[in-house]
Amino acid sequence: MRHQCRKCGVYVEDGVKNCPLCGAFVSDEPQSKSIYEFPAIKLKTAKGLFFRILLFITIFAVAIVLAIDLAVSKKVSWSLHVIVPIAILWLTVFRSIFKGFDVRKHLAWDFLGLIALFFYIEYASKSTQYHWAFTLATPIAVLVWQTVLEILYFAHRNGRDNYQVALTRLFVLSGICIAISFLWLKDCDWGWYVCTSIGLVDILAMIIFDKESYLGTLKQKLHI
């Protein structure tokens, strides 16, 4: 009579106590009933539970803050200073964590959240006369964003197409912001010129040194 190894499932002859292949004890029971099998740990279940608990705490805290503000001020005033940063935090950090994005998408959501926070601070501080969030803070954030993407582009040999697309989008965004500056403010500060110039250098560098990959990626994304 042949018996089955508890560990590797190999069948051996009767009377053999240890598997000649792996050395584990031999059993006449099917492998699926082995005592060495353990139930799989469902990490997604634990992650989802933590997400729901955190979401409940956030909603509960926001509701309390909003209720206190309405009860005291009879309108939504200072509670916005709590609700807006929490909302930005959820849309950037927590969304990226629970969605399992790659580094490029993490950066995109984080920098977009930071830019949104700049605009809210400008709005909340009543200093919209100089529009510093658009003319100064956002270009600096985009410059840092470009620099990080450039470092990651040169550091990764595989998956460069994602960084090529991201750098191209930032170049286009900078050009659009120059147009918005002239249409809205009738002028454009140095920040967007610098962003656009660096973006143009990135585009030219990718065309010169990685032409086939870059143009192939653009054709694929643009469905040409």
pLDDT tens-digit profile of 77-102?
888 888 988 888 888 877 777 776 67
Q: Which residues of 161-181 are buried (b: 16+ CB within 10 A; e: fewer)?
A: bbbbbbbbebbebbeebbeeb
pTM listed for this prediction = 0.69
Residue 37 has a pLDDT of 45
Q: Count other C-beta atoms under 10 Å from residue 205's C-beta.
A: 14
| Distance from C-alpha of 147 to C-alpha of 171, rounded to nearest angstrom | 12
| Distance from C-alpha of 95 to C-alpha of 88, rounded to nearest angstrom | 10
pLDDT beyond 90 at 10:
no
Strand partners, 12: 3
The pLDDT confidence band at residue 5, using thresholds 50, 70 and 90, is confident
More confident position, 133 or 48: 133
Report yes or no: 24 and 18 within 8 Å, Cβ to Cβ: yes
Average pLDDT over residues 171-187: 94
Average pLDDT over residues 127-150: 89
Residue range 16-34, pLDDT digits in tens: 767 766 666 666 554 444 4
* The dihedral sign for the CA sequence 94, 132, 193, 181: positive
- Burial level of 36, CB count in 10 A (0-12/13-18/19+)? exposed
Share the mean pLDDT of the chain: 82
What are the backbone angles phi and psi of residue 12, rounded to the nearest 5°? -125, 165
What residues contact 224, with CB distance under 8 A and at least 6 apart?
218
What helix, strand, coil percent values describe the chain, rounded to 5?
Answer: 70, 5, 25
Q: Which residues of 51-68 are buried (b: 16+ CB within 10 A; e: fewer)?
A: eeeeeeeeeeeeeebeee
pLDDT beyond 80 at 8:
no
